[in-house]
Structure 1
Amino acid sequence: MDKILQWSIALQSGDQETLKKLGAPDPKMLQQLFGGPDEPTLMKQAITVVVNPDSELEAKEIAFDNFEMLIENMDNANNIENIKLWSPIIDQLDASKPESLRVYAASIIGTAVQNNPNSQEAFIKYPGLQALIDIASDPATSSELLLKALFAIASFVRNYEAGYLKFDELDGWKIINLSRDSNHKVKLRILSLISSILSTGIDAKKEEHISKAHMTEFLASVLAKDGHAGCIDKVLNIISQLAELKYQFSASEIATFSQGLSNVEHMEELSTDDLHAAKKVIN
C-alpha cells in the first residue's frame, strides 16, 4: 500500500526518477484497491481503441503502450491468443499504418514471445513472421522500426525449432546480409538474431545457410574494424556458440578470426570467458 501511495504521488508530480525507481505497481493490487475491469478486458479495450478508425493517433499510441505494459506479464502475453488479439496486432505491421503503431506492434510481438514457448506456439499460426521479415528486409524501413522488427524475430526464433524452420522457409536468412553497413544498434540486433538461430542447434542445412549468408565473414569484419565493445563481445559469444555446436571452422575462417582477435584482445571491457573460448577456436 505504501509503495502504491508513493507511486501515485510521484505520478501526479511528474517525478520520473521516483517512478523509475519504484517501478509500475501490481495491476492486480490496483484493481483490488480501486476496482475496474480485469486485465484481459483491459487488453481487449486497448486493442479496440487501436483498431477503431475514429480514434485519434495519440489515443491509439496510449492504448498500445498500456497494452504492452500488461503483456509484460507472461499470463497476459498468453492471453493474446486466448482472447484472439494476435490478428489485429499483426495487422498494425502493415505499411499502410502509421509508423508509430507499426513500431508498437513489433515491440509487443517481441515482448510477448520472448522466453515464452506458449506465445511462440500461438504466434506461429499467424502471418506475423512474414510481415516482420518484410519490414526487416525493406531498405526504406526506419531505424526504430527495424530494431523492433529484429527484436521480435530474434525473440520468436530463440530456443524454438519450429520458429527457426518457419524463419528458414520464409527466407529470413537474407536479413543477415543487410548488416554490412549498419549502425551499431542494428548490428547488435543482427548478432542477437544470429545467436537465436544458433540456439536451436546446427545441422548440414544450417551450415550451408551460414556459408551462403557469409555469416562468419560478417563476424570477422566486426572483430577487424568495428571497434564497438558491445558488438565485439556479442561476436565472441557467437564464436563460442559455434564451437560448442561443433561447427567445422575452415582454415580461412580460423585465420581471419585469429587476425580479428589480435585486434581486440586488449579491450578490457570484453567478456573474459568468451574471449578465452574464442581463442580456443583458433589454437
Structure 2
Amino acid sequence: MESLLRWGIENSVPASGDASELHQVAAEVAAGKRKDLLDPALYEAIMGKSDAVLMKEAMAAATDKGNDVEQRIVALENFEMLVEQIDNANNLEFLNFWAPLIELLIDPEDEIRQHACWVCGTAVQNNAQAQNAFMKLNPLPTLLALISTVPAPSDLHLPAHVSKSSQATRSRAMYALSGTLKHNAYAIGRMDDHEGWGWQVLKGGLSDPSMTIRRKTAFLLSTLLLLVAAPTSEFTLTFRPAPTTSNPTPRSSSTAVTLAPTQANEFPTDSSKATPSVPSPSYTSILKSFEAHGIPSVVLDSLRQADFPRAGADGDEPPANEDPDYKEKAGRVLISLLEKNGLTEELKAEFGTYWLDVKKEQGGVEKAFEVGKEEAVEIEKLLSLQRS
C-alpha cells in the first residue's frame, strides 16, 4: 500500500503545475513520517474493501446465530455473488470457508440451508479446483440427505431436520449436487458409498412429490450420461488444473477429472499435476450403476405407466408424461442410454413401443424429445424400427 501511495503522489501534479509540495509529502512517506496516510481505513475508503475482506465479513455474519435469519440470509446472498468470480471460489479453501459452509448445510433454519446450498453450487460450477476442495470435506452425504425425502443412513449421524427440508431447499441442494458431480470422476465414484445410496436418491428423485425435483433429477442423469463414451467413439477426458494466476478465467466445462484405474476411489490430492489421459472407471461405471439401481426402468416407467406415482403433496398433479419439460428430459436419458448400450433388450423393446406411441402425438418425437429428423432416423435404427 505504501508503494502505491508513493507512486500516486509522485505522479500527481497540481493544477498550478508546482509539484514541490507533493514531492515533499512523498519524501515524508518514504521516511516513514506520514503514518496517517498509511491507515488501512483510508485505503479502504479510497479503493474499497477487497473481495477477501468482504467474504470474511459475509461469512462472519452468516455463521453468527446471534443475528436474525434475515441478516444471515442477506450475508449468504452477498457471499454467493462474490463466489460467482472463479478466483473467489478458489479462495474458499485458502480462507478455510468450506468447513463453515458445510456446517450451514445442516443449520436448523431451512432458509439458511437453502442459501448455503446456493453458495456451494455456484462455487463448484464448472470449477475443478473448487470441486476438489469441496470434496475433501465429504459433502455428498449431506447434499443427498437434503434432497431425499427419506432419512439418511443412521451411520451418517445427520440431524433429522435435514431430510425435512422445503422444496426450495431441496432444489438448491440438487443444484449443488449437480455442480459437484459434473466432470468430476472422484465425486461420481463416491455416489457408490453406503451401498450406492447416492444413486438410490437420484432414482427416488424420479418419483419425488415435487415435479421440479423430478425435472432436475432427469436433467442430471442425462448430463452424467454425456460423460460416458458411445461404443463407436473414442472418449478421453483429461484433468486440467484450474489456473493459479490472479487473472479471472472463464468457467468452462473442459475442466474435467480423469483418474487412473487404480485411483477410482482415491482423492486427487495434488491438483497441480495432470494425471494420465485414460478413460476413468468412475465414468465408465456410470452405466453399471444405473443398471444396478434400476434407474433406466424407472425413467421409462415414469413416462409409460399410468399408475406411476404422481407429483404433488397428495399425488394430485397430472402424470409426468404430460409435463413437456420432464418428458423431454426423461426422453433424453433414454436416448443416451440407447446410444451407449445402456438398455437391456427388454427395455429397448419397451422404449421402442413408447417411441411409436409418441410418434402419433401432435409434433411427434421431434417435438416431445427435441430431436431433429436425422437424429430421429438414427434412433429408430438403434431401436430396430421401420420409420414411416
Could you say whether these structures have the same fold, taking a TM-score greater than 0.5 normalized by the shorter chain as the test?
yes
Q: Distance in 1 between matches of 2:343 and 2:67?
A: 55
Task: Please list every run of 5 or more consecutive structure 2 residues that lacks an aligned counterpart in the other structure.
Answer: 1-42, 151-163, 230-280, 305-318
How far did 1:112 drift?
1.0
* Equivalent runs, 1:1-283 vs 2, <5 Å: 35-94=47-106, 96-139=107-150, 140-170=164-194, 171-178=197-204, 179-201=206-228, 205-224=285-304, 226-244=321-339, 246-265=340-359, 266=361, 268=363, 269-270=367-368, 271-273=370-372, 275=376, 278-283=379-384
RMSD: 2.6
How far did 1:213 drift?
2.2
Q: Distance in 1 between matches of 2:334 and 2:81?
A: 35
Q: Distance in 2 between matches of 1:277 and 1:87?
A: 48
Q: Distance in 1 between matches of 2:109 and 2:188?
A: 29
Change over 3 Å in CA distance of 1:276–1:37 after alignment to 2: farther
Q: TM-score with structure 2 length normalisation?
A: 0.59
Count of equivalent residues: 251
How far did 1:275 drift?
5.0
Question: Identity of paired residues, percent?
Answer: 23
Change over 3 Å in CA distance of 1:129–1:276 after alignment to 2: farther
How far did 1:277 drift?
5.4
Higher radius of gyration, 1 or 2: 2
Change over 3 Å in CA distance of 1:280–1:43 after alignment to 2: farther
Change over 3 Å in CA distance of 1:239–1:175 after alignment to 2: same
Report the secondary structure of 1:247's partner residue.
coil
Report the secondary structure of 1:201's partner residue.
coil
Q: Distance in 2 between matches of 1:127 and 1:137?
A: 17
Change over 3 Å in CA distance of 1:216–1:277 after alignment to 2: farther
* Bigger Cα displacement from structure 2, 204-213 vs 252-261: 204-213
Q: TM-score with structure 1 length normalisation?
A: 0.79
Report the secondary structure of 1:272's partner residue.
coil
Report if the CA contact (8 A) 1:120-1:156 is conserved. yes
Q: Distance in 2 between matches of 1:145 and 1:248?
A: 32
How far did 1:104 drift?
0.5
Question: Quick one: which amino acid aligns to residue 323 of structure 2?
Answer: H
Report the secondary structure of 2:48's partner residue.
coil
Question: Quick one: which amino acid aligns to residue 166 of structure 1?
Answer: R
Higher-helix-fraction structure: 1
